[in-house]
Amino acid sequence: MTGEALEVGRAAGGVRFRVRVQPGAQKTCVEGVAGGALRVRVAAPPQGGRANRACVELLARALGVPASHVRLEAGAASRSKLIRVEGVLPQAVGRALSVEVRELLPGERGR
């Protein structure tokens, strides 16, 4: 993607950020950042919540946290999702996902 930054906001005990998911992809991977959201591809189909579970598992593995620390806060039936991760700092998200991070201040978009 371009040199865009992932917009990461603080949440109680962790962080919150937007993810754009492409289900049914050839492989499961983090693709980059577009429009302030993390873009991921998952091989799982969208039926039965399988793509959502694959997204959560991918993010947990990439961030080095248990899957129980990654929560889908909004967008269960959409490709655009709001994810909350407990136990990580905004800077750690960027390092783990190898993307530039822009930490949002209170009141900014994405909170």
What CATH number was assigned to the domain covering residues 6-103? 3.30.1200.10
Dist. CA 67–CA 55, nearest whole Å: 10
pLDDT attached to residue 98 = 86
Rg of the chain in Å (alpha carbons): 13
The two tokens of residue 27 are 């492989």
58 touches 38 (CB < 8 A): no
* Proportion of the chain in helix, strand, coil states, percent, rounded to 5: 25, 35, 40
Q: pTM to 2 decimals? A: 0.89
**Beta strands 80-86 and 14-22, pairing class:** antiparallel
pLDDT attached to residue 12 = 87
Nearest to 73 by CA among 12, 30, 3, 27: 12
How do residues 69-104 score in pLDDT, each as one tens digit?
Answer: 999 999 999 999 999 999 999 989 988 998 889 998
- What average pLDDT is seen over the chain? 91
Q: Where are the domains of the chain?
A: 6-103
How do residues 30-80 score in pLDDT, each as one tens digit?
Answer: 999 999 999 999 999 999 999 999 999 999 999 999 999 999 999 999 999
